[in-house]
Structure 1
């Protein structure tokens, strides 16, 4: 499990491709490597990956075909920067909201506004996932736990403070960029349960 509090930005050092499999060498800050073991889980841009080996300050991860299909990991290249978070431990503070590291879908950046001291970014998700997105609800974008701002159709925005921009890759984001999305599990459960009970259907006309 993860908390959605990004622990820093890592750099892609190398990408090796094979049929149905990409292997990533990712350089993490040295102070974040203490206690890393083979088999440990690390969130890379919101996708839970398993450490397969370590060489110095580089960790190696394999991403299978299904992961590459559902996420943006297949588009990563040498030199790209990614958000990372090591798996939460019992007793850690949950500053964001609980995440599984299982990416549900991707979203496209449709606009970026930069008023003084903050940034508002608008995203568009596939129609099928819009039903789980509500104003002031939680969402994870590239592994970062964020609060949803306004929602219009299948578009929503988030408001980012300078510290979030500093500590994550959101300071580099551009229009038309594609990001990983993990829907809040509690919201998804509630919406799906109400749908099964018939409350998600239009009321009959009398």
Structure 2
């Protein structure tokens, strides 16, 4: 389990390609390697990956075909940076919201509003996920636990949209500071929101509503 509180960023220093398979090697800072062992779970841009090798600061992770298809990790190149969160441990403070590290889709950054001390980002989701968007609800964006500020329903011209407001600390700690319109981010819908919406849908369907 993860909390969506990104602990830092790490650079992709090597990529090993194979058929429908990749290995990413990250240069993890010392504070993010403390107690790290083979088989540990580490979230990259919100994607739960398993440690497969540790050689000093260089830590390797394998990416399967589905991960490459559903997430933005397949577009990474050497020199790119990713948001990093170590798996939560029993007794850790849950400062964000519970996250599984399983990405549902990608969203496109379509609008960016700069202000002196914060930044508002608007994202567009695939139509099927619009039913999970609620003002002031939780959402995971590139592994960051964020509160939805406002939503816009889908139209003939665009899909469902939502915005988030970022404080300077989030911008300083994560790669969202470098995101620009047209970029794709990983999205994890809040598991509790998903469960409630889908349960209500099943109940209504069973009643013919």
Shorter-normalised TM range: over 0.9
1:139 match: 139
Alignment gaps of 5+ in structure 2: 154-159
1:193 match: 199
The DSSP-based 3-state class of the residue aligned with 1:89 is: coil
Deviation track 1:99-141 (CA, whole Å, cap 9, x = no partner) reads 0000011000001110111000000000000100111000000
Cα distance between partner residues in 2 of 1:201 and 1:98: 32
The DSSP-based 3-state class of the residue aligned with 1:94 is: coil
Moved more, 24-33 or 139-148: 24-33
> 1:80-95 to 2 correspondence within 5 Å?
80-95=80-95
2:67 match: 67
> 1:116-131 to 2 correspondence within 5 Å?
116-131=116-131
1:114 match: 114
Deviation track 1:10-66 (CA, whole Å, cap 9, x = no partner) reads 100011110010000011111211110000000000000000001111110000001
1:26 match: 26
Cα distance between partner residues in 1 of 2:47 and 2:41: 10
The DSSP-based 3-state class of the residue aligned with 1:198 is: helix
Moved more, 66-75 or 191-200: 191-200
Distance 1:33 1:200, change over 3 A: farther
Deviation track 1:61-101 (CA, whole Å, cap 9, x = no partner) reads 00000111111110000000110000000000000000000
- Paired residues of 1:3 and 1:94 also in contact (CA < 8 A): yes
Tell me the TM-score normalised to structure 1 length: 0.96
The DSSP-based 3-state class of the residue aligned with 1:96 is: coil
The yes-or-no answer on 1:160 pairing with 2:166 is: yes
State the aligned residue count: 203
Alignment gaps of 5+ in structure 1: none
The DSSP-based 3-state class of the residue aligned with 1:197 is: helix
Cα distance between partner residues in 2 of 1:33 and 1:103: 24
